[in-house]
Amino acid sequence: MHEAGTGAPTREVIAWREPAFTDVAALDAEMRRVADICHLCRRCFNLCDSFPRLFDAIDNSRTGELDSVSSADFKPVVDACTLCDMCFMTKCPYVPPHEFNLDFPHLMLRYRTAELAQGKVGFVDRQLRKTERNGTWGVRLSTLANWATRTTNTLARSLLETFAGIHRKAGLPLYAARTLVAQARALAPVAPAAPRRKAVIYATCFGNYNKPSIGIATRAVLAKAGVAVEVVHPGCCGMPLLETGDLAAVAESAKTISAALAPWVDRGYDVLALTPSCALMLKFEWPLIAPNDPNVRKLSTATRDIAEYVVEVAKKDGLPGELQPLDAPVALHLSCHSRAQNMGPKAAELLRLIPGAEVTVVERCSEHGGAWGVTKENFPVALKLGRPVAQAAIDSGARHVSSECPLAADHIVQGMEELGAKPSPAQHPIELFARSYGVSP
């Protein structure tokens, strides 16, 4: 509930096709309007680095007000935004339908769209975010790609830092030898004689190319629960492109993928997205970018987060068989894009279905931010701002570190190592649940 008490927060359709959306003067006026509201409020001072940069720019200006802040000073503010949505979801009292109509993350998105239109987004930035193409080649050349991107490969990583702007110490996700779709196809079909439900797993780029074990564990859990399961990957949801403001490309992804997934919905299947960022895109961002596409609207109501779905199955239908206790406590990070789905702490609910589970919830941004957090400029900031999360995981004394966001999980583990801890590799909550359920791959 926002401060005016006029209703639950809402988000407006993104008018990215309107000329005023990327008009320099109109954008600058809106940046100043929003910055002035934030300046007078400052509730978000302890979130990402965008707000300290904004407040420093104002406080260090000649008058200490917006009138003496240069428009160029907004650029570092925008660059620091990871589009985590936490200011909108948890802090700002002036979000719609409040008359101030303040949506800080989508204003940052608008600024980036304008930069893209002006040709200010670099070639390397655009290529790094083509995760579908990169994943396809990464799997084909996984041995070489994984060798070259390991932080212990000092020569290759120094070259990556020089030519691609990726910090040499930033952990990068490994590529699988086979995609999730290929692995699922090789397994026995999951088709119970009398299925209680039907679900199609949208593999997502990360689940398909980097960590198929998340999808394999999900498939195994649902199979034992009596759910008929299929696995598909019609393409990238467009989240990496959203980060650069390429809304036209995101709209095209939404059109293509929703057209591929809508027939599954028509046949009575629920759609499960393997990563929270992709679930957020299908549920909430696509309908704001392509509001008139009937397939997008259909998909937004049929999509579920993994933990959200398994908890729903457990509560409404029950889980056949028994869950066994885990061998150690869990430090569970609730990722920003899980929280932004406004569904509650479903990953925590999932793990607490396990008898005797000891779960310490860490509800704060990891500060990874996808491709944002691995760049030469941002990685030190990401580690610094993510330190409270890493410290909380250490303080919990838990052996298992888990997050629904695989990139956040690995970033937290790296942060723990920077603080002198020796954590085990991070696992997705569904992987821990599959172990308890006796179906761990």
Quote the CA–CA distance of 145 and 137 in Å, as a whole number: 9
* pLDDT confidence bin for 9, thresholds 50/70/90: confident
Residue 212 neighbours by CB under 8 Å, 6+ apart:
176, 178, 179, 180, 183, 203
Q: What is the pLDDT of residue 383?
A: 93
How many H-runs (helices) and E-runs (strands) does the chain carry?
23, 7
pTM of the model: 0.92
Neighbours of 247 (CB within 10 A): 26
- CB of 146 within 8 A of CB of 174? yes
Per DSSP, 77 falls in state H
Residue 5 in this model has a pLDDT that exceeds 60? no
Token reading at 92: 């700002």
Half-sphere exposure of 20 (CA within 13 A, CB side): 5
Look at residue 237 and give its three-state secondary structure.
coil
Question: Furthest-apart CA pair in the chain: how many Å?
Answer: 73
CATH number assigned to the domain covering 180-315: 1.20.1050
The answer to whether 210 and 131 are in contact (CB under 8 A) is: no
Compute the distance between CA of residue 279 and CA of residue 303 in angstroms, rounded to an integer. Answer: 7
329-361 pLDDT tens trace: 999 999 999 998 989 999 999 999 999 999 999
Q: pLDDT at residue 225 above 60?
A: yes
Q: Is the dihedral of CA 321, 327, 331, 333 positive or negative?
A: negative
Q: What is the mean pLDDT of residues 115-127?
A: 89
Tokens encoding 414: 């790296």
Please check the confidence at residue 81 and state whether its pLDDT lies above 90: yes
Tokens of 85: 């949505």
Q: Would the CATH topology of 180-315 be identical to that of 322-436?
A: no
Q: Is 250 exposed, middle or buried (0-12, 13-18, 19+ CB in 10 A)?
A: buried
Any bridge partners for residue 201, and if so which?
231, 272
> Where do we find the tokens 């809106």?
30
What are φ and ψ of residue 379, in 5° steps? -60, -45
Tokens describing residue 6: 């006029």
Q: How far apart are CA 432 and CA 429, in angstroms?
A: 5
**Fold designation for 322-436:** Rossmann fold (3.40.50)
Residue of 273, 286, 148, 282 lying closest to 208 (CA atoms): 273
- Closest by Cα among 48, 40, 32 to 384: 48
State the pLDDT at residue 1. Answer: 42
User: Does 59 have pLDDT greater than 80?
Assistant: yes
Alpha-carbon radius of gyration of the chain: 22
Whole-number average pLDDT of the chain: 93
Instruction: Calculate helix-pair angle for 294-302, 247-266, nearest 10 degrees.
Output: 70
- pLDDT given for residue 90 in this prediction: 86
- Residue range 180-197: average pLDDT? 84
Q: Can you tell me the distance from the alpha carbon of 394 to that of 186, in angstroms, rounded to the nearest whole number? A: 39
Per residue in 382-441, pLDDT tens? Answer: 999 999 999 999 999 999 999 999 999 999 999 999 999 999 999 999 999 999 999 987
For residues 441 and 432, what is the distance between their CA atoms, to the nearest angstrom? Answer: 11
Angle at 112 (CA atoms; ends 106, 117), nearest 5 degrees: 125
Tokens 């993994």 belong to which residue?
306
The residue with greater pLDDT, 78 or 129, is: 78
- The DSSP element (H or E) to which 214 belongs, if any, is helix 212-224
* Domains of the chain, residue spans: 19-117, 123-164, 180-315, 322-436
What is the 3-class SS of 341-403, one letter each residue? CCCCCHHHHHHCCCCCCCEEEECCCCCCCHHHHHECCCHHHHHHHHHHHHHHHHHHCCCEEEE
Residue 2 pLDDT level (bands cut at 50, 70, 90): very low
